[in-house]
Amino acid sequence: MKLHLLILGFLMVASTSWAVENFTIEDDDLSAVPHNAEIVIRQAEAKDNDLQKCEFIGKAVDLDGDGQAMDLIVTIEDASGWNAALGPIWVLRKSGDSFAIVLSDGGHSVTIGKARHKGLYDLIISAESAGWSRQSIWKFNGKRYYKSEEKTKKPTEKGFNRTR
């Protein structure tokens, strides 16, 4: 009986961490983002002249599990050309007729998990290049995503370093 409860408990915990959806900066199905989302990003990145010239692409995602993909994960066209498959990533939450940036980071992929905080799914942003890798776990605090944990591996290290 204890073994059955232990297995059931493991399955319940494991099922909350399996991915709901994945996004990479190299996905073939990325398309131009709505103009109002582009304006929000350009205003937030006003000091970065290089980004002002870029084309923003992304895809609609469901961050709150209501079955409607109204939020966006955005990168720039040809982002992988920036630095060995790494590029800027923004997560935008639909707010009425506009969008709000709830996360701005860089990496190669975003995994939307099943666990939630303050109503939105947790996100994992991964990046990897030439023997270096990073995986960051992001949780929603009601207004923005914050980095709750990060694991990095550098070429000279045998294992992962964990930071909070």
pLDDT bucket at 3, cuts 50 / 70 / 90: very low
For residues 74-87, give the mean pLDDT.
71
Virtual torsion, Cα 104, 105, 106, 107, nearest 10 deg? -110
What's the predicted TM-score (pTM) here? 0.81
pLDDT given for residue 5 in this prediction: 37
What does the DSSP assignment read for 73-117? EEEETTGGGTTTS-EEEEEEEEETTEEEEEEEEEESEEEEEEEEE
| HSE value, Cβ hemisphere, 13 Å, CA-based, for 18 | 6
What is the residue extent of each domain of the chain? 19-163
Burial grade of 60 (CB within 10 A; 0-12, 13-18, 19 or more): middle
pLDDT tens string 84-134: 568 899 999 998 999 999 999 999 999 999 999 999 999 999 988 777 889
Closest by alpha carbon to 110, among 121, 101, 95, 94? Answer: 121
pLDDT given for residue 79 in this prediction: 56
Tell me the pLDDT of the chain averaged across its residues: 82
pLDDT given for residue 7 in this prediction: 42
pLDDT bucket at 1, cuts 50 / 70 / 90: very low
